[in-house]
A = this chain, B = another copy of it.
């Protein structure tokens, strides 16, 4: 059986990557999503096991110790990471799986799984990014500026990715991401068995 592939999706806050991914999973339910393990408290609208598994710091440090993470990060006293086992299992089972991480997480994963495909979601312009960040209307100017500064630091590293999807139009972006994943299935290293089948007929 053909193996699946790991896809890394990154993009700054305001790039719209969460919306793109939510729509993608509606039209491509066969694609798996890697659930992160995190140690921060659960927020009101969050469902355990949907996007995150909420675990204790002790459990997380145990995972670090046993090399059970593809990547991890510590931020404001909490751990965030990608468990290795479900990703490796999906690939072995022939499933495509998406990991949503930041640029640092992506760099760590590329070392562990070199034959992954990575996609960076780019806002169409800085102006649009500012409007989107302000549009949430829930944060102070200082917080918005901090987010913008982080976004620019992420965009500086977009060159490390295989593909750039400019999120100007949601439907186009979803379609592009979907096609990147589907076309990856035509890559030669995933079809050696077809070649061999014909030669052995």
Residues in A lying within 8 Å of B, measured CB to CB:
120, 122-123, 125-127, 129, 152, 155-156, 158-159, 161-166, 176, 179-180, 182-183, 186-188, 191-192, 194-195, 197-199, 201
Q: Which residues of B contact A126 (CB under 8 A)?
A: 198, 201
Given A194-B164, A194-B166, A198-B122: A188 and B176 within 8 A (CB)?
Answer: no
Given A158-B195, A198-B126: A176 and B186 within 8 A (CB)?
Answer: yes
Contact B164 A199 (CB under 8 A): no
Q: What's the Cα separation between A41 and B113 when bound, in Å? A: 53
Contact A188 B166 (CB under 8 A): no
Given A122-B194, A176-B183, A183-B183: A188 and B201 within 8 A (CB)?
Answer: no
Q: What's the Cα separation between A126 and B155 when bound, in Å? A: 48
- Distance of A39 from chain B, by nearest CB (Å): 33
Q: Which residues of B contact A156 (CB under 8 A)?
A: 199
Contact B125 A164 (CB under 8 A): no
Contact B188 A163 (CB under 8 A): yes
Q: What's the Cα separation between A27 and B187 when bound, in Å? A: 23
**14 further contact pairs, Cβ within 8 A, besides A122-B195, A122-B198, A164-B194:** A125-B197, A125-B201, A155-B195, A155-B199, A159-B188, A161-B188, A162-B187, A163-B183, A163-B187, A163-B188, A164-B187, A166-B191, A166-B194, A176-B183
